[in-house]
Structure formats: C-alpha cells, structure tokens
Structure 1
C-alpha cells in the first residue's frame, strides 16, 4: 500500500467541491466508483457534505494557503480490501496525520490496474476553525503504511524515499503519460559527460551538443531545451548544483545558446518510453491527430467568439434603436422611464442568454478537442477497437499482467459461446474490463480475472471468454477455493473445455457424469481390496484364479487418471528373504512374492543373534515411491516472479539476473531467501551472479527459513533441496 499527498500548486485552483465532483463522477463506467464514505459531517450525502465543508472553509478568511488535503491510498495489483478494512485504514491514517476530527469524503475507484482510495480532507477544523498542515507528512505516511500493512495482512511496499521530489515527479510523468521526460532524457544521454566536465566551457559545450542551455534562475541553476522546458540542474545530479559547481569551477559564467551550432544533432523530443514493440508509426498518428485537434479547436473557438460578438452587437444595436424611438415618442416622463427600464431588462436578459450559450459551447469544444497524453490516446483508441493501440498498451514495460485468482487458456479449438459481455473501459496497462451482470471480468490478453462480485455468472463468463479468445485448454491459478468454484461452474454449465490440471479435470468429469465414475471407482476399489486381502495377505481361503484376476486387473491405470502399482506377484512357492535358510513353521510360509522387483532383507527381520543385524542402504533394491510433485501453478508463480524481477532489473542496475531452476542446475548453491507468490513458495538460490528460482512445497520452505542468507545448500532435483539436516 502506498499513500501519496497530491498538493495543489495554485491556490486559486483549490476547490473542495470540484475535487469531490471529480471523485464521484463515474465517467460512464460501472467499475469506477465502488465505495463512498463521509466522515464528521451532518449528512452522509455527498452534495450536502460539500456544502457544509465549503461553509466551514469560508469561515476562515485569514488562511491564504490550500484549505483541502487530497490523499490517495493505492494498493498492489490484484489486492482489494473489503469496505470495513478501507474504513479502518482511512481512520488510522487520518488520525496519524492529525486529521482525526476533520471533515472528509472518501471515494474508491476500481477502473485502473491498481485499486485506490481518494480522501478529500478539510484542513480547517470544524469547531476551532484553525488550519492544520502536517510537517514532513511523507515520513509520517510511510510509517503508518508499514504498520498497517502488517496489521491487516496487506502486501508490503518500500516506504523509504530514495529520490528527491523532482525525480519522483518525472518518473510519475513517464509512468502515467508514457512519454520520456526531459530529466530522464538528460540522465540517459549526457549525464556522464556533464559529470566529467573540467570547466564551465566544457559544461556549456556538452549541453549545446544536446540542444540544451545552462542558466541561472533564482538561487540555483536550471537546464532548458530549445522549447523553454526546464529542469533543476541539481535534480539531474547532486554534483551539478550551483554550489558544488562554483566550488569546482569558480564563479558562474553564462554562455547563451549559439544559433549556428548544430552540435551532434541530438535534442530532446517527447517520445514514448521504452516498449517491447515499435510504436513509431502509432506515435506519428498520435502527434498528427493532436496537432489537428488543436487547430480545429482554435478554429471553432474563434468562430464561436465571433458569433457571440456579433449577437451582442445586434442586441445593443436594437436596444439603441428602441431607446431612440422611446425618446422621440410622445408620453409622460413616467411612461418613458418605464419603457427605458423594459428595454434595459430585455437587453440584460438577451446578453445573459448569449453568454450562457457561449459558455456551453466553449465547454463542449474543450471536451471534444481535449488534448490527450500518449497513454490516454492509446486507451481511447483501444476502447474503439484498435488492436495496435491495445498491443502498445500491453507492451509497456510496466505491464506485468493480472495476479491472484485468474484463468488462462491455450490450444484447442476456439468456440463461440455467445457470452454477453459489455466492454466497460481499458486501463493504461491494456487490461480490458467487461461487465457481465453484477460482475466485472478483466482481460489482459493472457489471463482473465473476476475482479469484483465473484458470482457463478461472472465465473462462467470468464470461462466462456477464455474459450472464445484463447482456446479450450483452461489453466486455473489461485487459491483452492477458487479452483473448486471454477470446476463446479464448468461442470454445472456443461462447458466443452479441458483443464490442464489433471486433478481439476478428474473432478470436472466426476461432476459431469457421476454415475460412471462412481461405478468405476467401486469396481477398482473391490479389485484393490481383493488384491490386498486375497492375494497379498495369504493364500489360505483364496484361489489362484482370484489372485490371478486381481493381478491382471491391477495392471494399467484407472480411467480417472490415478496410476496403480503394477507387477504384483502371484502365489509363490519360494519363501520371502526373511524366511529362507532357517527352520520355520508352516504358518510362516510366504505365499506372495515380488517376482520382478529387487529383493531385500529389512533390519527388523534379521535374527537377533547376529553380530551386525543392520544392512547397508541400497536404493536400487527399493521400489520407487511415487510423489505428488509440484502443481503447474507452482511453476507459473515462479515465472511470474522472474518476470517481475526482470522488469525491475531494467531500471535498477544492481538486481541480479533471475531464471527458473532446471535439472541441469543440480549441485551446490548459496541460499538467497524464500518468497511466497500467490500462495506458492519459491526458493532463491544464488550461483555465479544468477538467482535460480525453484518452486518448493511448504515443508521445504519452513525448513529453509531456518537458514541464513549465504548458507550452502545442495540441489538434487526440482523442488528438492538438501541442507545439513534432513532433506525433503
């Protein structure tokens, strides 16, 4: 969970009513406003609370700063606390900031990739009428979030600030707008050369080669491009602050940009951030459309103003003519005064109507020709059905896919299921949100997720959408309860699909046709019992025919998919190893033996008078014991974690390469930790500057948690790690 204060730079733009109006606006989306709350107001109605808060703020006439505190609580992707937890989080954070007694309105939005809660707080105390502005609120918010994450079991985030405010704002712009910032471009293109400069002349030369200029502003230095866009020099690097540069090179020497110097031809242009696909042509479409939008808006706005001025001139001309007519007409002074008053009222009414029409027309033009950021334009085009724009959104580095209880599909024949799903919106990561009844289904191009109201109708719609778009081989990720619901829904709706997990598929088949499976399991169970009692326990009271029948029916597998042990021997004439070469009674005679398996003498069967009753272990003599192994979703969790770390490695250089552990990695490695992703445990093993990610079970994870980082472990297979103690 991340808490962020959104400051209002211009006090004139600060308006509590406008903020609440924006938060409560559903923007014609069903999945936008999902939770509202009003605290410390006489009415729980949003409109009434806005009037009350505005009145309280108007009582304090001395304050010249912003009277509204806008706070956002953002949660990890796939995390959606219930309403009671949201209310508790809001209360605890507001009390920690000192706003426990202040009026506030909270609205939660779920139309983005991350569920988030907006809190609009009145900074004016309702009774004392004093303003409260918390000091160093980012540190307070970090401590509160860390404590609340532990208390309510939320996914943990890093709350330590490692960058200055300007760097964070530049990263926010790149993340939300999808366009490279000037600050990020300077760091990537010429930061090393700037730090290596030996004089003011070298510094100015490097900047001019990249179309930049260094100049004084206030008490510091700024770097500007040819269009006048500026960033603080100290934000690019602390070594470029004015104080440190003056200490190195002496007093600042300005050098204006030379118009004839072309340099290396490099200059900053607002371009899309790195992506997995080429978006050059798509970005060209975007720029051309935005230029046309500005031109059309200017043209129509000019025509609208000209129309308004023309109508106003006509009204004034008519009024002037009416006044002249009244002046020349006969009548008493009172009659003329009444006519003049009627003319003035008519003019005022017509002018108000003209201005109101112009205001509505201006709002229409601003809404119709609103300039869009790159990602917002991609969202709009993807909503219209543009597949290239949708692919560009999904190819962004930040797009990591859906998490939690999800459904994916592959292979098989695409089927027309006729599911009725209305597209609600598209997020900045390319996730399409569909409305199906009272539920919402999210599709990121690889997986589908029922994000809210996991009803049977929503789960069935998710399966049908997966079958229509990706195939009939369904893979389910998430908790055991979610998988059970998916199987039950698939069987009840009689969907023509197949689960990749054999356990889920057997369960689905048993639910679809329970009579056949019950009869088969009954027959198999009786055969198994005959094998254990008649053929294996002793030959007295059982015939060779029954034993042979049990042996024949014991071969192969059940139709439901469970494997049975083959090679169960028949009636034997040779005694078992523990009964050989000694005197025995008739009751000790063994009648069943394993004719093809290895024979061995267990320590407990050796006579007590022997000097060394123990035996050396020989695994080749033992029959292999079948284990359940790791489920497919364990490897999916490993791939998800690896993808997330690899995406972060592109931004943070000190993160090692991560890849999945395979059979070729058997040997000694260093223990690097244990992670839990979507309920699955992963062991991190370090070898040659590479982190190997191994899916493990819960018992192995508990055993590895006792180790220290850097301890040596031995890997013997997939999910098998040996330590100094007992391995599993």
Structure 2
C-alpha cells in the first residue's frame, strides 16, 4: 500500500464539494466506483446521502472563512488483485485507521475506492474542520504517520509490502516510482524513469564534473533530459512531458544540493537548447520502446509505429487505442497470432516485477469489444 497526500494546488480554490462528487463519480477514463461511504455526517452514510452530507460538511467549513485549505485529500494505492481480498468492511477499517492516526477520527469525510484494469485505489476526503470544536487539524510530519499505518495494515490484512522512506532501509535508486510503474502497466512501453536509470551512472559522473548550470544542462541533454522547477523542487523532464523528481536520480541531484553547487536555478536556464543543437548533442534519445523484448517484437512494433503515423486528428476509439502499445496488441491478438505470443511474453516478464499486473479478464473484454466493432472488422491487420 502506498498512501499519498494530495496537496492543494497554489491558486486553486479549496472545493470540498467538487472533490466529494469526484470520488462518488469515479470520473477518470476507464475507472468505476467500487465502494463508497460517508463518515460522521447526520445526513447518512451511503452514496444516496451524498448531496445532503456535502451541504452539512460545507456548513461546518463556512465557520472558518479565513482558512484557505480545509481539506485533507488522501489516496491509498493497492497492488493489482488486492481488491478481491478486501471486503468493504476491511476497506472501511483501513480508512478508519488512517483517520485515527492523522487526528481525523471524529471528522466528517467522504471515502470511496476506484477500480480499473491496472489500478485499485482509495480516495479519502477529510474535512479538516472538526464538526463540534471547529478546530482545524493539520497533521505534523504526516508522511511518517501514513507509512506507519500502511505497514500495519499490510501485515494485518496480508497485503504486499511497499516499504516507504521511513522504514529504515536504504532507498533503492533503481526502483521505479509509482507513476512510472503505472505508465508501464498501462502502456507496456518503457517509461522515462527507466530510460534515465539505465544511464544513471554515466549521468552522475557527468554531473559530478559539471561546474555550473549550463554544463549540467548539457550533460542531461545528452540523454534527452531537461530540468524544470516544480513546486518547491526540481524535476527531470522528458520530451513527451513525463517527469521524475531530480532526487530520484540521486540525493545529490535534489534542488537544494544542486543550488548549493551552482547557485539559484532560474527558469530561463531550465529551457531546452534550440532544437538543432539539442539534437546534435543527444546521444541517448528517449523514444517509444516496447518494455518486453521477443523475437517477434520488431515486426509488430514497426506495424504499430506506422499506424501511429497515420492517425487522424480526431481519432475514433480504435485510433485512440493505437496510441497505446498494450491496446494495440490486445486488438491484434484476434487476427494475428504473433500478437498473442507477445502478450504472453509481456505476461511472463511483468510477473517478474511484483508491482505489475498481468492480462486479466477486463483486458480480454476490451480486446473483444474493439475487434467486434464493424470498424475494427473492416480495418483488421493488412500487412
């Protein structure tokens, strides 16, 4: 389990009602609501009571008009398949443990679990304003609290253990972040973080020799990486917009450490070099690449790339799916046995990584729907 606080974005109003409706609706593409409940509201505990409960919560929050941030939004991510091992009672008990540890046991809250093919997670929206005392509670060093509760719940319910930064173990610099793991699980394509970590030692050697921001940028540009400020930190950015924290490359690459060496980082220094010069200096470009390799991969991968080149500006459902290597293989599995071979190869490879899901029944349903449509039947593979 990985518990993450979703902080309030600067300049964006705190809108608890919108968040509560989002949790109940499971609005993200491919997601559906799994379980839902409300705590400490006289309006009720079920999704049918949501409208009244939100009015009740907003009435409490209005008692603190001078407080800009009155919501604590927590997301708890589970491993694939764990939704089948946890009942609603279990999920509510897990949510209650987080609430108690954070000091929100008596606070109003809306909670729900969302499920899709590859990602099962729980949203909890706490009203930080106590409904009786009107005291606004903001947990101190909550990342330690979240990690402690996560480890306890993993042991209690027999879930896979996701060691966190507070567990007293040396961080594995080659471990992918949850975002990178999700990207690879959804696309079966190599993530930007994996590309960076493949060249980690070379990059660190180059950065060690750099004497200023310009030289550091030139080192990173060789690997198709640019630097950008984000929040209070710094990220490594890919050409297609993927980003990882600079400190995930190495602790010496955090914003604080780099600014100690090179001085304050200015926004204009973080811009990419001109296109021509950047291309000339990029020795290891980040590009679309299948995650699993097999002797049958090259032929299908070329076909996939060729189809991506001719996608219409306003693509159909099938065309949108072709932007994703995983969905391409699922669609090709019906007319092309080689695609099924690659799917099996992916399943075997992803099974090695405990974080990764295998093809499940939902994927098969997706593939069947796409291949049953009149459009897909008329556009089956033509080589």
TM range (shorter): 0.5 to 0.7
> Which whole-Å CA distance do the structure 2 matches of 1:150 and 1:3 have between them?
15
The one of 76, 79, 85 aligned to 2:90:
85
The corresponding residue for 2:351 is 400
Instruction: Give structure 2 stretches of 5+ with no counterpart.
Output: 166-170, 368-383
The corresponding residue for 2:313 is 292
The one of 98, 120, 145 aligned to 2:150:
145
| Change over 3 Å in CA distance of 1:239–1:76 after alignment to 2 | same
Q: Deviations over 1:613-663 (max 9, x none)?
A: xxxxxxxxxxxxxxxxxxxxxxxxxxxxxxxxxxxxxxxxxxxxxxxxxxx
SS of 1:59 mapped into structure 2: coil
> Which whole-Å CA distance do the structure 2 matches of 1:252 and 1:40 have between them?
47
The corresponding residue for 1:70 is 74
> Which whole-Å CA distance do the structure 2 matches of 1:150 and 1:222 have between them?
34
Contact in 2 for aligned 1:207/1:213 (Cα 8 Å): yes
Q: Deviations over 1:67-104 (max 9, x none)?
A: 24233252562542223323322222211111101112
Contact in 2 for aligned 1:16/1:68 (Cα 8 Å): no
Instruction: Give structure 1 stretches of 5+ with no counterpart.
Output: 297-367, 404-426, 435-441, 446-728
Contact in 1 for aligned 2:25/2:33 (Cα 8 Å): yes
The one of 197, 210, 232 aligned to 1:187:
197
> Which whole-Å CA distance do the structure 1 matches of 2:335 and 2:7 have between them?
37
Structure 1 residues 259-274: aligned runs within 5 Å: 260-261=276-277, 262-263=279-280, 265-266=282-283, 268-269=285-286, 271-272=288-289, 274=291
Contact in 1 for aligned 2:347/2:358 (Cα 8 Å): yes
Contact in 1 for aligned 2:61/2:70 (Cα 8 Å): no
Q: Aligned-pair RMSD on alpha carbons?
A: 5.1
TM-score normalised over the length of structure 1: 0.37
SS of 2:113 mapped into structure 1: strand
The corresponding residue for 1:125 is 130
Contact in 2 for aligned 1:393/1:429 (Cα 8 Å): no
The question of 1:431 aligning with 2:360 is answered: yes
Q: Deviations over 1:116-173 (max 9, x none)?
A: 433232222222333322223232122123223444x423413332379x97365355
> Which whole-Å CA distance do the structure 1 matches of 2:235 and 2:141 have between them?
26
> Which whole-Å CA distance do the structure 1 matches of 2:110 and 2:135 have between them?
19
Q: Deviations over 1:292-336 (max 9, x none)?
A: 238x9xxxxxxxxxxxxxxxxxxxxxxxxxxxxxxxxxxxxxxxx
> Which whole-Å CA distance do the structure 2 matches of 1:91 and 1:284 have between them?
51
> Which whole-Å CA distance do the structure 2 matches of 1:86 and 1:252 have between them?
44
The question of 1:207 aligning with 2:220 is answered: yes
Contact in 1 for aligned 2:308/2:322 (Cα 8 Å): no
The worse-fitting range, judged by mean Cα deviation, of 275-284 and 60-69 is 275-284
SS of 1:106 mapped into structure 2: strand
Contact in 1 for aligned 2:107/2:130 (Cα 8 Å): yes
The one of 156, 165, 168 aligned to 2:177:
168
Contact in 2 for aligned 1:20/1:120 (Cα 8 Å): yes
Contact in 2 for aligned 1:212/1:267 (Cα 8 Å): no
TM-score normalised over the length of structure 2: 0.65
Once the two structures are TM-superposed, the CA of residue 252 in structure 1 deviates from its matched residue by 9.2
SS of 2:124 mapped into structure 1: strand
| Change over 3 Å in CA distance of 1:204–1:127 after alignment to 2 | closer
Structure 1 residues 512-527: aligned runs within 5 Å: none
SS of 1:206 mapped into structure 2: helix
Which is higher, the Rg of structure 1 or of structure 2?
Answer: 1
Contact in 2 for aligned 1:209/1:265 (Cα 8 Å): yes
The corresponding residue for 1:282 is 304
Contact in 1 for aligned 2:14/2:69 (Cα 8 Å): no
Contact in 2 for aligned 1:103/1:122 (Cα 8 Å): yes
Once the two structures are TM-superposed, the CA of residue 374 in structure 1 deviates from its matched residue by 5.4
> Which whole-Å CA distance do the structure 2 matches of 1:63 and 1:3 have between them?
25
> Which whole-Å CA distance do the structure 2 matches of 1:371 and 1:199 have between them?
42
SS of 1:131 mapped into structure 2: coil
